[in-house]
Amino acid sequence: MEGVQNLNVSQNASAAVAHTSAGISCQNLHLNASKLERTPGTDTVSFSGNGKQNMSIQKPEVSTGKKWALGLSSFFIPGLGQGINGQWGKGAGFFLGYSASLVTATAVCVAHALANASLGMTPLLFLAPLSVRIWSIVDAVKNAKPDCEE
């Protein structure tokens, strides 16, 4: 069951599938499952119970508008897209990482300028906050959750 997380189904017993972190279901689902299979390379999980019924649940799609909103929010404030998506710890990490790298790069450049030293390669330090900002945008879009999971 690679890729399916927090999915609890016990053999030949009633089980519940609730909001999974993999986004498999947006509602509680009670079933008597004797077999649980995940189709490789897809987001489809199939259940079969005692030969009576087969069903499959597909991961809900995330709207393009929501992905754009999360990406733009992380563009303006790194980590905000993760926060809107409910990943506040990750969002705080991106924000603090961006802030710390920006402050460090600025401080080093100002120190060089005040010492009348050649900046040389010092401006390349600004690649660190730029990288964190881009990573934050990509992560917010990639890990967007469907509206029904909020």
pLDDT along the chain (150 residues), means of 10: 43 39 47 60 62 65 92 97 96 97 94 88 92 97 80
- Give the per-residue pLDDT at 120: 85
Query: Taking a C-beta distance cutoff of 8 angstroms, is the pair 125, 37 a contact?
Result: no
Query: Taking a C-beta distance cutoff of 8 angstroms, is the pair 141, 65 a contact?
Result: no
Q: Write the single-letter amino acid at 9.
A: V
- Give the per-residue pLDDT at 10: 41
- Give the per-residue pLDDT at 7: 46
Helices (H), 1-143: 64-76, 80-84, 88-114, 127-142
- Give the per-residue pLDDT at 1: 40
* DSSP code of residue 23: -
The DSSP H or E segment spanning 58 is strand 53-58
